[in-house]
Amino acid sequence: MTGRVIDVLSKGVSPAGVIFVMASWFSGFFLTFFGDRPDIKNGLLYKYSSTDNLNVYGITLLIGATIVIFGLLKPNRLAIQIGSMLAFLCYVYGGTLYATHGFWYPFFVSSLPFAAIYAYFFLAAQFARNLPRD
């Protein structure tokens, strides 16, 4: 079974995966450059974060999604792995924040699926046979 799943993963990324990456890119972009907007400051992530601004979170998410986009456009295993790990860590942070404060809706709707898709990208790049390492 594992060999069959890896063969499917190595054939390419579905459009749904690209939509997840673009949503992450836009989230990182807005958190980085428009963090002073009231709609961002009223978000749960901003209210319950341990820092006063989410620039580090936004920059990390923006960089991670950009690296994944680069790795998908120019098939590159290392780029997909690095970008996926950065984005995965951002969504695990958000998920931990939501779960510790009892916000289960954003945990299951936002953090968990995004963390899962980036774990999928990381593992797909790790086991894909046709992606160059550099």
Q: Is residue 88 part of a domain?
A: yes
Mean pLDDT of the chain: 84
Report the domain count for the chain. 1
Q: Would you give the DSSP letter of residue 127? A: H
Q: Domain range spanning residue 17?
A: 2-127
Q: Is residue 25 part of a domain?
A: yes
Please give the structure tokens belonging to residue 66.
């950009």
The pLDDT of residue 62:
95
The shares of helix, strand and coil residues in the chain, as percent rounded to the nearest 5, are 75, 0, 25
Q: Is residue 67 part of a domain?
A: yes
Q: Is residue 12 part of a domain?
A: yes
Q: Is residue 134 part of a domain?
A: no
Average pLDDT of span 71-84: 88
Q: What own/partner pairs with CB < 8 Å and gap ≥ 24 does 41-47 have?
A: 44/97, 44/98, 44/101, 44/103, 44/106, 45/94, 45/97
Does 78 have pLDDT greater than 70?
Answer: yes
Q: If you count them, how many residues does the chain have? A: 134
Q: Is residue 132 part of a domain?
A: no
Q: Is residue 21 part of a domain?
A: yes
Q: Is residue 46 part of a domain?
A: yes
